[in-house]
Chains A and B, each alone.
Chain A
Amino acid sequence: MHHFYLLMAMFLFLTILVGLLRVFIGPTTADRMLAAQLFTTTGTAICLLLAEALQLDGVRDTALVFVILSIMAVAAFVRRLVPKDPGGES
């Protein structure tokens, strides 16, 4: 049984490797960011599968941290540092 979960984790990791192609070819920044978002979710799934395969409970906490912080990169990407129209109120 453990073998199956390890194989499954490896399969998901291979999809990350294939998905890296989208980061390389782009073409827009949004495409690359979306690829990173997909990798985070896949990474979470790999963590959960590995937790089962290796019988390590602590790895589920790693997955939990992955998940709650996954939004940060995207939020930083779309955010504006200054209001859209700096001189707008005059």
Chain B
Amino acid sequence: MTGILFDMALCAALILTGWRVLHSSDHFQAVVLFITFGLILALAWVRLEAPDIAIAEAAVGASLAGVMLLDALRVMRSAGKEHEQERRWTNVARLPSFHLFFSFIAAVVVLVLLICAVLELSGRQGGLADLVHAELESSGTKHPVTAVLLNFRGYDTWIELGVLLLAVLGILTIRECSDLRSLAPPVASTIVFETLVRGIMPLVLLVSGYLLWRGGFAPGGAFQAGVVLGAGCILLWMAGHRSLAMLGDATWRILLILGFLAFLALGSSSLLHTGVFLAYDRQYASLQIFLLESAATLSIGTTLAGLVLALQPLKKDLSQANRDVR
């Protein structure tokens, strides 16, 4: 009974905050509500007994996205574009009608495809959980989620790492830089915050490693560890330390592609040996999964930190602004 009431309160809160995020007149209020929304969603995942997703949601939805949105808001305010943007967002109806027409067609096509996909499903009772548990013994890991992500559906995880890589490449292209060294250096923070970061950084690294290690037999894993690592880099930046932006060109690139490359290397070697892409040797499966996860953790951390930090002003823009002031 209590459980049902709690679940209903969670649903109501999610709908309320979600609605207010979209309809609040004040942008800052919307950002704070978005952070709260992420927090409530993480609690909902906890309630559904899925701590893996709760960790990812808490770290990405509430923290990284919060930092990104606050930065974006500041950039908009300083450029004085806030009101212009507001007009553009509220008057969707002003879009040329053929844009609306084509997006409608695209939406209908995707909907039909999705319905077809659902009808194609074999209608297995109780999902695939039984199958996963039956095969868990041979997967090289003791946690079903890790087994699915790294072994049974390793192909999906590989492609997801590729998507992350594409995202950071896209953002860097738009910012017209190849790494973070062309960003303006971070502004020194107060000594209180600096001391906190100094004290908390070892804990961040410890938690990141702990989550990576725990992924072998309990909720945790590469993505969660990577997100925590990336958040640590952003904390360092905010305390006035340059973190990722000090890396040389080669190191930065290697860190970005390491996860993707590890999957590719393992996949092609198994393709040559056994003729199947990403097939693990049963004897070494544990070790292979651990190595893949470690590489993926480094890449995910670098990528996410890069995505957030790339919003900082560029060096050349800053010197331009200084010249204008003078």
With A43-B39, A81-B74 as contacts: A86 and B51 at CB distance below 8 Å: no
Given A61-B210, A68-B231: 4 more A-B contacts, CB < 8 Å: A17-B9, A24-B24, A40-B39, A72-B66
> For residue B75, which residue of chain A has the nearest CB?
A81
* Cβ contacts A21-57/B at 8 Å (1 or 0 each): 0011010010011011001100100110010001011
Question: What are 9 A-B contacts defined by CB distance under 8 Å?
Answer: A17-B9, A23-B29, A32-B32, A36-B35, A39-B36, A59-B46, A69-B231, A81-B313, A86-B322
Q: Give Cα A58 to B42, complex, Å.
A: 13
Instruction: Select A80's contact among B26, B187, B219, B220, beta carbons within 8 Å.
Output: B187
B303 to chain A, nearest CB (A): 17
B322 A10 Cβ-Cβ under 8 A: no
Interface residues of A, dominant DSSP: helix
Inter-subunit contact A7/B2 (CB<8 Å): yes
User: What is the minimal beta-carbon distance from A9 to any residue of chain B, in angstroms?
Assistant: 7
Cβ-based interface call for B204 (8 A):
yes
Count of chain B residues near A, Cβ 8 A? 70
Using known A-B contacts A10-B9, A72-B231, determine if residue A62 contacts B58 with beta carbons closer than 8 Å: yes
Answer whether A62 and B32 are a contact pair too, CB < 8 Å, given A7-B2, A75-B193, A81-B71. no
A17 to B8, CA, bound (A): 13
Is the Cβ of A47 less than 8 Å from the Cβ of B46? yes
With A61-B55, A79-B187 known as contacts, the answer to whether A13 contacts B10 (CB < 8 A) is yes
- Asked if B318 and A82 make an inter-chain contact with CB atoms under 8 angstroms apart, the answer reads yes
Whether A61 lies near B238 (C-beta < 8 A) is: no
> Do A58 and B39 touch (CB < 8 A)?
no
Cα distance, A82 to B75, chains bound together (Å): 11
Given contacts A14-B9, A17-B13, A59-B54, contact A76 B66 (CB under 8 A): yes
Q: A43-B39, A61-B219, A82-B187 are known contacts. Are A73 and B66 too (CB-CB below 8 A)?
A: yes
Q: Is B52 an interface residue (CB 8 A)?
A: yes
Q: How far is the CB of A22 from chain B (nearest CB, A)?
A: 10
Q: Which residues of B contact A17 (CB under 8 A)?
A: 9, 13
CA distance A17 to B220 in the complex (A): 29
